[in-house]
Amino acid sequence: MWARMNELERMLNNMDIFRSRLGSAFQDFDQLAEQRYPKTTGDNYPRTNLNDTGDNLEVMVEVPGVSKDNINVKIQGNYLELSGKRTNEVPEGYTVHRTEREALSFSRSFTLPYEVNADNVKASLNNGILTMTLPKSEAAKPKQIAIS
Amino acid sequence: MSENKALTPSNKSDVKAARQLPIITPAVDIFENKNEILLHADMPGVQRENITINIDNGKLYLSGSRTVTDSGAARWREFGAAEYSRTFSVPQSIDVANIKAHLQDGVLQLQLPKLETAKPKQIKITTG
């Protein structure tokens, strides 16, 4: 009788292991899908790219339909905050067939890998892409070491 | 033995064309009044010269490609080069010759005027 019970328990344990493995397999799948198509809802809107060009950090932000007056950028040390809003009004006297482009306000903040010199930041908005060049502060810049 | 016997010359531009870009369906707004239809499409990062708009047989094909210049080492990347593509059915009553397109802040604004014959007419009643 006890032998039977032990056997049953072992089988149940095995099933538990199998279940947890199956769960992690699904998680891997989700992660893969997300890498390819990052979601743009909530936390990571607008989408950004960050490049390190040695002396500068370059940030690109995808902000279609947002005019430059409606974007605010705040920089302090290595903290960057982007906020803004997109207004989307129905033109006067028109009936609406389809609205997929919502009016929204957004805010996103980042910790940059280096401190940047906030006084010399260059920003330009071109075709719905905001490009910012953030010069690294002197301490964070790469140094050429002369070999004697 | 070093003689090149390739039948077709290799062409570097072919290699580039073979690279598959992710295809994005742009989000659109469509408005209409009695004179025209307006179509606004989000296409961030696309240059004016890389957009094509074709109208053929009651279909409007909208496409555009964008390149994202990457300089330096990537810390993170959430968007990249892509191709926008979307097809719409448009009524035959559109005045194809007078379609206007305007690109502003990454939003393509299409203005599709209706033909004079397709506009609603108010009929005046005369009394005699």
Who wins on pLDDT, B70 or A33? B70
B84 backbone dihedrals φ, ψ, rounded to 5°: -95, 140
Cβ-contact A115, A85 below 8 angstroms = no
Of the candidates B107, B84, B51, the residue with the CA atom closest to the CA atom of residue A63? B107
Residues of A with CB under 8 A from a CB of B: 36, 38, 44, 47-54, 56-58, 60, 62-67, 88, 90-91, 93-101, 113, 125, 127-129
Q: Residues, chain B, total? A: 128
What ipTM did this prediction achieve?
0.73
Structure tokens at A122: 């260059």
Only one residue has tokens 């072919």, namely B14
CA distances from B45 to A76, A92, A136, B42, B80 (A): 28, 28, 26, 10, 9
- Given a contact cutoff of 8 angstroms between Cβ atoms, the answer to whether A117 and A136 are in contact is yes
Q: State how far the Cα of B119 lies from the Cα of B121, in Å rounded to an integer.
A: 6
Does residue B23 belong to the interface with chain A, where contact is any CB pair within 8 Å?
Answer: no
Interface mutation target, options A59, A98, A130, chain B, most CBs of B under 10 Å:
A98
Mean pLDDT computed over every residue of chain A: 84
| Residues A57 and A112: beta-carbon distance below 8 Å | yes
Q: Considering only CB atoms, which chain B residues are within 8 Å of A51? A: 70-75
The reported pLDDT for the residue numbered B3 is: 60
Is the confidence at residue B64, as pLDDT, over 80?
Answer: yes
Structural fold of domain B20-68+79-115: Immunoglobulin-like (2.60.40)
Is-cis flag, bond preceding A46, omega within 30? yes
Across A108-136, average pLDDT: 91
Q: What percent of chain A has pLDDT over 90?
A: 34
Q: Which of the four pLDDT bands, split at 50, 70 and 90, describes residue B65?
A: very high
> What is the tens place of the pLDDT at every residue in A63-90?
999 998 999 999 988 899 999 998 888 8
Nearest-angstrom CA–CA distance, B108 and B47 = 10
What per-residue confidence (pLDDT) applies to A45?
83
Enter the tokens of residue B43: 């296409």
Which residue did the predictor score with more confidence, B36 or A28?
A: B36
Output the pLDDT for position B21: 83
Do residues B28 and A96 make contact, with C-beta atoms less than 8 angstroms apart?
Answer: no
Distance CA B74, CA B79 (A): 12
Query: CB A50 to CB B76 under 8 A?
Result: yes
For residue A87, give the 3-state DSSP assignment: coil
Q: Has residue A113 got a pLDDT over 60?
A: yes
pLDDT at B18 > cutoff 70: no
Sign of the Cα torsion A113, A118, A124, A128 reads: positive
Produce one character per residue of B31-56: b if its CB has 16 or more CB atoms within 10 Å, e if not.
bbeeebbbbbbbbbbbeeebbeeeee
| pLDDT at site B101 | 94
- Decide which of A129 and A89 is more confident: A129
Instruction: Of A43-47, A54-58, A136-140, B38-42, give the range with the top mean pLDDT.
Output: B38-42
pLDDT of residue B62: 94
What is the SS3 assignment for A81?
Answer: strand
Q: Is the pTM of this model over 0.80?
A: no
Residue extents of the structural domains in chain B:
20-68+79-115
Q: What is the DSSP letter of B37?
A: E
Q: pLDDT digit string (tens) for B78-88?
A: 888 999 999 99
Residues in chain A closer than 8 A to B30 (CB atoms): 96-98
Is A110 in contact with A80 (CB distance < 8 Å)?
A: yes
- Chain B: residue whose CA lies nearest to A38: B78
35-74 in B: which are within 8 Å (CB) of A? 37-38, 40, 42-47, 68, 70-74
